[in-house]
Amino acid sequence: MRLWLSILVISAANSVLKATGPLVLGDRRLPFVARRVVALMAPVLLAGLIVVELVGPDWHGLDGPQVLGVAVAGLAWTVRTPMLVAVLIGAAAAAAVRLL
């Protein structure tokens, strides 16, 4: 019961969080300055997610092969390797290091 109630509350809260901005703002446009901030939200959130994913709480999740794999994927992408292939190269690099 505790589990199901938790699932229900989190799912509902998730919907409310997504809906709040549109419900409050409606068709009102943000001021120009705010739009400049909004334009940067995607790269900022992605960078935050990468760091959270790689280092974890208290930096205890930091794992050398994982960081190396992600860096290799980034390098592969910068030399115009397709995205999916670049990620697979990164995963293979991490797997290879862990095998050593």
Rule CB under 8 A: say whether 38 interacts with another protein: yes
Rule CB under 8 A: say whether 21 interacts with another protein: yes
Question: Phi and psi for 11 in degrees, rounded to 5?
Answer: -65, -45
Residue 74 CB, nearest approach to another protein (Å)? 5
Rule CB under 8 A: say whether 79 interacts with another protein: no
Rule CB under 8 A: say whether 49 interacts with another protein: yes
The Cβ of residue 2 has, within 10 Å, a number of other Cβ atoms equal to 6
SS3 48: helix
Residue 18 CB, nearest approach to another protein (Å)? 5
Rule CB under 8 A: say whether 64 interacts with another protein: no
In angstroms, rounded to a whole number, what is the distance separating the alpha carbons of residues 50 and 55?
Answer: 9
Which distant-in-sequence residues (6+ apart) come within 8 Å of 23 by Cβ?
none
| Of the residues 69, 79, 80, 100, which one makes contact with another protein according to CB under 8 A | 69
